[in-house]
């Protein structure tokens, strides 16, 4: 199974007087904006949450729940996507269709926390007679923009999952043993294939979690239990157990502090009622968005209680597609579809994805190298260890260095002189942007790769200065700082691709900067032309042209 490629449509919702403004700040066809009023009364939302969230009868509506989500989803789509925003959305869909790509819908709701509880995941495009989130072509994510850059973790093999199943004795009992058995069954194939490991935290206490995170590195945190949201204090909590087996509420600050230092953790899945709920005044007040704020690239939480079968369908498909190398939002989309295609017409919209990874990529995939036998496997493991050592401060050649007729370190051997000729284990020689390799003879199972493109660290450091400049920039009523940062982020992401960067896109985005923030265009072009950026010759010409204009 291969991952689908996506372009991004960023939809920023902000206040506009007594109403709201939807602005497309980034899309394949440019920007657009429209104003709209809240499409629902509080009574209508209460009815929706009762019928869909808790699936209980409500007086005053004859609609079936399936009809209700279509009606409410359609009204929400028509409110946010109207006028030139709708036109831009349609043109963006046409553009990506021509390239056989999808269109990621990133909702930016930071400025309007009162709209965070609206059922965005159920948006329904009546003209296409389709829910956006049920199509692999249009995943919906709630994007939380933060200053720190998210770097993909080198593809781990296997993915390590830590499961916490909590059912305190003084709360409504949960069938945690049944949940555990179902989770094991769902992941049995992946575990047999060596794609995932599954560890259960015993006992499900905060102290045990702290000790377990000290002992091992985990990539996924999966919580099954009770969740709470305190509207008065505007804070969320997960309910663990204490040493006596009764409830211990762990507020969002405590759990975020603990998970923040788990550096390999990339995904948190909260199968807890009210885990996705946020405060009407603080978008980071709920557990899920607060974990994102504290550094976890992607958090998936349930906005309503979810049935056992739906949770099973969701988890098994989510982890299967993540192990296959999908971006997190595409994996989330496949998991929704698994719920729906198994006959559940309501709960596919229950999971909510909060994300801060720009393109959804949280695990960087490695290329296949060599045979599947023991020596090949050991070689791949050494290659992974070598890559990890480089990230931690090992040998790193980048910039305009030239390597020729020098000692070369590879695998288990150090070879002096002009030749690198080994018949043994696989070795990988990776050279950074702008470097050249001379007189290297690769023997059996030797792989040479030359990365064209900037050093990620160098490029990030150069662009960090630009983001700081944007923050210090005086407020402009005609252009939002988020719009400028989004444009700069696109340029940075594309430039990091080196020779494979799309030059026409970068040129278009630089022209956009020229129109909305010429001062930021100057510093962006200067960063691209810095030797440390290591950009391609074609991009350098574009940057020089933009700076001279």
> How is 398-446 classified by DSSP, letter by letter?
-TT-EEESS-EEETTEEE-SS----SSS-EEEEE-TT-EEES----TTE
Q: 318 or 498, which is more confident?
A: 318
The answer to whether residue 529 scores a pLDDT higher than 80 is: yes
Over range 466-489, report the average pLDDT.
85
pLDDT in tens, 4-33: 789 999 999 999 999 999 999 999 999 999
Nearest CA to 300 out of 279, 321, 326, 331 is that of 331
pLDDT score at 463: 87
Task: Please say which residue of 124, 143, 162 terminates a domain.
Answer: 143
Query: How confident is the model over 141-161, as a mean pLDDT?
Result: 74
Mean pLDDT of the chain: 79
Q: Are residues 179 and 137 in the same domain?
A: no
Which of 322-326, 358-362, 534-538 has the least mean pLDDT?
Answer: 358-362
Copy the structure tokens of residue 455.
Answer: 């050093």
Answer whether residue 430 shows pLDDT above 50. no
Residue 49: inside a domain: yes
Assign residue 469 a region (left: φ > 0; alpha: ψ between -120 and 50; beta: otherwise). alpha
Quote the pLDDT of residue 293: 85
Give the domain-ending residue among 364, 399, 427: 364
Query: Does residue 279 belong to any structural domain of this protein?
Result: yes
pLDDT (0 to 100) of residue 431:
39
Q: Judge whether residue 159 has pLDDT over 80.
A: yes
- Mean pLDDT for the stretch of residues 93-107: 95
Confidence of residue 278 (pLDDT cuts 50, 70, 90): low
Residue 52: domain span: 6-143
Which range is least confidently modeled, 184-193, 385-394, 518-527, 533-542?
385-394
CA distances, 230 to each of 144, 251, 275, 293 (Å): 22, 10, 11, 19
* 13 occurs within a structural domain: yes
Encode pLDDT of 415-428 as tens digits.
343 333 334 433 44
Spatial separation of the C-alpha atoms in residues 95 and 244, rounded to whole Å = 59
Same domain for 422 and 530, yes or no, is no
In 3D space, the residue among 398, 399, 394 whose CA is nearest the CA of residue 410 turns out to be 394
- Verify that 392 and 494 share a domain, yes or no: no
Considering the domain architecture, whether residues 114 and 201 belong to the same structural domain is answered as no
The answer to whether position 482 is within a domain reads: yes
Q: Give the residue from 143, 172, 194 where a domain finishes.
A: 143
Q: What pLDDT does residue 121 have?
A: 95
Residue 472: inside a domain: yes
Coil, strand or helix: which one is 198?
strand
Residues 327 and 205 in one domain: yes
Q: What is the pLDDT of residue 77?
A: 97
Q: Which residues pair with 414 in a beta bridge?
A: 409
Give the per-residue pLDDT at 381. Answer: 43
Same domain, 217 and 337: yes
Note whether residue 224 is domain-resident: yes
Domain count, the chain: 4
Residues 24, 124 share a domain: yes
* Residue 465 sits in the same domain as residue 433: no
pLDDT of residue 486: 86
C-alpha radius of gyration, the chain, whole number: 25
Cα separation, 106 vs 14, whole angstroms: 14
The packing angle between helices 456-472 and 518-529, to 10°, is 160
For residue 243, the model assigns a pLDDT of: 94
- Residue pair 524/476 in contact (Cβ under 8 Å)? The answer is no
* Residues 202, 58 within the same domain: no
Distance (Å, rounded) from C-alpha 341 to C-alpha 349?
A: 13
Contact 208, 202 (CB under 8 A): yes
Domain CATH number, residue 289: 3.40.50.1460
Q: What's the mean pLDDT in 316-321?
A: 90
Judge whether 148 lies within some domain.
no
- Specify if 172 maps to a domain: yes
285 and 423 inside one domain: no
Q: Are residues 240 and 334 in the same domain?
A: yes
Q: Are residues 304 and 159 in the same domain?
A: yes
Look at 182 and 439; give whichever has higher pLDDT. Answer: 182
What pLDDT, on a 0 to 100 scale, did the predictor assign at position 153? Answer: 62
């Amino acid at each position: 199974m291969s991952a689908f490629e996506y372009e991004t449509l960023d939809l920023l919702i902000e206040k506009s007087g007594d109403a709201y403004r939807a602005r497309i700040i980034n899309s394949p066809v440019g920007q657009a904006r429209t104003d709209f009023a809240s499409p629902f009364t509080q009574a209508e939302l209460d009815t929706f949450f009762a019928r869909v969230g808790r699936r209980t009868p409500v007086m005053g509506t004859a609609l079936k729940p399936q009809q209700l989500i279509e009606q409410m989803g359609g009204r929400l789509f028509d409110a946010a996507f109207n006028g030139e925003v709708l036109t831009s959305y349609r043109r963006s869909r046409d553009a990506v269709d021509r390239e056989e790509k999808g269109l990621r819908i990133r909702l930016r709701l930071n400025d309007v926390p009162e709209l965070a509880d609206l059922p965005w995941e159920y948006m329904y495009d009546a003209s296409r007679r389709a829910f956006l989130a049920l199509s692999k072509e249009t995943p919906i994510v709630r994007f939380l923009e933060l200053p720190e850059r998210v770097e993909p973790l080198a593809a781990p093999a296997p993915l390590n999952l830590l499961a916490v199943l909590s059912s305190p004795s003084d709360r409504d009992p949960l069938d945690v043993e049944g949940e555990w058995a179902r989770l094991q069954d769902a992941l049995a194939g992946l575990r047999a294939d060596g794609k995932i490991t599954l560890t259960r935290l015993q006992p499900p206490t905060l102290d045990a979690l702290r000790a377990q995170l000290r002992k091992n590195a985990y990539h996924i945190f999966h919580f099954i239990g009770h969740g709470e949201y305190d509207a008065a204090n505007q804070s969320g909590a997960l309910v663990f157990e204490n040493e006596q087996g009764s409830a211990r509420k762990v507020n969002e600050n405590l759990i975020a502090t603990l998970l923040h230092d788990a550096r390999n953790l990339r995904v948190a899945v909260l199968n807890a009622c009210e885990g996705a709920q946020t405060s009407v005044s603080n978008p980071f007040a709920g557990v899920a968005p607060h974990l994102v704020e504290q550094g976890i690239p992607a958090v998936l939480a349930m906005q309503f209680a979810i049935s056992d079968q739906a949770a099973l369908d969701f988890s098994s498909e989510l982890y299967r597609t993540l192990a296959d190398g999908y971006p997190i939002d595409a994996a989330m989309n496949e998991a929704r579809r698994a719920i729906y295609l198994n006959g559940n017409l309501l709960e596919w919209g229950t999971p909510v994805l909060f994300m801060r990874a720009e393109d959804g990529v949280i695990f960087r995939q490695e290329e296949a190298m060599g045979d599947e036998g023991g020596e090949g496997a050991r070689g791949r493991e050494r290659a992974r260890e070598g890559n990890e050592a480089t990230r931690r401060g090992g040998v790193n050649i980048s910039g305009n260095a030239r390597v020729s007729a020098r000692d070369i370190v590879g695998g288990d051997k150090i070879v002096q002189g002009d030749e690198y000729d080994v018949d043994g284990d696989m070795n990988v020689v990776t050279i950074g942007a702008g470097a050249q390799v001379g007189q290297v003879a690769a023997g059996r199972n030797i792989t040479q790769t030359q990365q064209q493109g900037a050093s990620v660290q160098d490029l990030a450091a150069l662009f960090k200065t630009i983001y700081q400049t944007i923050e210090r920039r005086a407020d402009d009523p005609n252009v939002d700082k988020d719009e400028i940062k989004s444009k700069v982020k696109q340029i940075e992401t594309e430039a990091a691709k080196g020779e494979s960067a799309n030059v026409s896109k970068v040129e278009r985005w630089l022209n956009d900067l020229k129109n909305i923030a010429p001062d930021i265009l100057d510093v962006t072009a200067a960063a691209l032309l810095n030797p440390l950026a290591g950009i391609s010759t074609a991009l350098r010409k574009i940057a020089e042209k933009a700076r001279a204009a």
